[in-house]
Amino acid sequence: MNFHLFRKKGLKMNEKTNNEPKTEDVFKEATEGSPAGKKLSELDILKQSVDEQKKKAQDYYEQLLRLKADFENYRKRSDAEKREHFEDGKNSIITELIDVFETVKLAKGMMEKATNGESVQQGLHLIEKKLAEILKLHVLTAIVSVGEKYNPLLHEVVGVVENDGIEDDIIVEEIKAGYKIDDKILKPAIVKIAKKKEIKKNNDIAEGK
């Protein structure tokens, strides 16, 4: 009977022992609650943040590399297109010049066989006509000069003609024609303009002539 009592007491002692917290659990709780545990947790958070920033930096770097590659490809395509357009334009001009060259040869043959001035004139007219066709094809137009008022954007004055019967700055003579494509001036017209005698005299005095 005493033996059974002892067994029951022993069982209670074992149960008490099993219910006691384990050493590692006690250490874990103590560590987490201690300043050292808090420091360890902060380090983990910091490490995680650093890892995230590294990943973002890598993503940005890869995006930058892709953008650089795309830009290089665009630049190469653009350069290739420019070269192609230049070659097309050059070939077009050369083709037109070949036509002019053939026309000149034809006109030259006419002049060599000519026995009078009329044939020479016809040859020159043939050349002028062919060139005019090419210029018209490129929407090239001559700048209207004679009878127009001087415009510094369209005309370049190389001389003054005294004339009291014409308004000042009216173009009276065109030395060399000017040309434009649409609104773009390729060459200004070289002209002479009218000035009244008194105005011209005053201008000469002012210039010390």
pLDDT of residue 147: 93
pLDDT of residue 155: 95
The dihedral through the CA atoms of 123, 128, 133, 135 has a sign that is positive
pLDDT of residue 192: 96
pLDDT tens across the length of the chain (209 residues) = 444 444 444 444 444 445 555 545 544 554 455 555 555 687 888 888 888 899 999 999 999 999 999 999 999 888 888 888 878 777 777 777 777 777 777 777 777 776 666 777 787 888 888 888 887 777 888 899 999 999 999 999 999 999 888 899 999 999 988 888 888 888 899 999 999 876 555 566 556 65
The architecture that CATH gives domain 141-209 is Roll (2.30)
Domain boundaries, the chain: 34-138, 141-209
pLDDT of residue 206: 59
Rounded distance between C-alpha atoms, residue 99 and residue 93, angstroms:
10
pLDDT of residue 39: 58
Count Cβ atoms below 10 Å from residue 130 Cβ, excluding itself: 19
Rounded distance between C-alpha atoms, residue 147 and residue 33, angstroms:
103
pLDDT of residue 95: 73
For residue 167, give the DSSP letter. -
> Is the pTM above the cut of 0.75?
no
Residues 29, 32, 35, 37, Cα dihedral to 10°: 130
